[in-house]
């Protein structure tokens, strides 16, 4: 196990009016991880809210930037620089328009794909941090802003809670730098159970 701390930043906008927006699914994931692994209460630091504990024996800092989405890099950059973290020890959880609702992908680096939170973090740190992308689907170009800044729909909530629970349960794989294992574990946890096989009807003897 590495001695390097892990920083997991969930992206969103602060304030009750944003709390259930699609754009805030990173905050939701950070809250789910904190609750599942019994992290201590959030406290202000690095221009955000932080909670610190250990996951799989690795010191882990959860961060919810309070800078608003477009300036997420101010908070994530402060934390990463203060902790002197290499970029492979920084994981950013965010909403992803280009993934179907409920799908999840983990990867290192890449483009910001029009996501202002990622653009800000990339400007602060460079592109080679790790990302956990939570699919929210794409409504079509003209409606993007109102779509992401709107509450999850009732239909969305049916997949959202199980996915957040699965992320929280699978996060030890992220702490072990096993992003593929993390994705596989999440996929297994949210896979619907197989329907029971029908019982064979007993053959009648014709009596």
Closest CA to 30 of 3, 4, 48: 48
Q: Return the axis-axis angle of helices 154-175 and 25-36, rounded to nearest 10°.
A: 60
- Residue 23 is among the residues annotated as catalytic for this protein: yes
| From 21, 23, 37, 115, active-site residue | 23
Which runs of consecutive H residues, i.e. helices, occur in the chain? 25-36, 72-82, 116-125, 144-148, 154-175, 179-190
**What would the two tokens of residue 48 be?**
């955000």
Helix (H), strand (E) at residue 6 = strand 6-10
Enumerate the active-site residues. Answer: 23
């Amino acid at each position: 196990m590495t001695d390097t701390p892990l920083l997991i930043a969930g992206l969103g906008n602060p304030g009750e009016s944003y709390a259930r927006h699609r754009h805030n699914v990173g905050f939701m994931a950070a809250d789910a991880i904190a609750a599942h692994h019994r992290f201590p209460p959030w406290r202000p630091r690095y221009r955000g809210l932080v909670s610190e504990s250990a996951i799989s024996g690795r010191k882990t800092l959860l961060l919810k930037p309070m800078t608003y989405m477009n300036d997420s890099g101010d908070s994530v950059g402060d934390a990463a620089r203060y902790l002197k973290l290499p970029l492979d020890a920084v994981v950013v959880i965010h909403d992803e328009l280009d993934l179907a609702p409920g799908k999840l992908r983990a990867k290192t680096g890449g483009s910001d794909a029009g996501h202002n939170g990622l653009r800000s973090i990339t400007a602060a740190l460079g592109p080679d941090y790790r990302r956990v992308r939570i699919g929210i689907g794409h409504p079509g170009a003209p409606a993007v802003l109102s779509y992401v800044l709107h509450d999850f729909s009732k239909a969305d909530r049916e997949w959202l809670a199980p996915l957040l629970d699965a992320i929280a349960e699978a996060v030890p794989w992220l702490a072990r730098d096993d992003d593929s294992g993390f994705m596989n574990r999440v996929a297994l946890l949210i896979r619907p159970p197989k329907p029971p096989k029908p019982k064979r009807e007993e053959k009648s003897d014709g009596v």
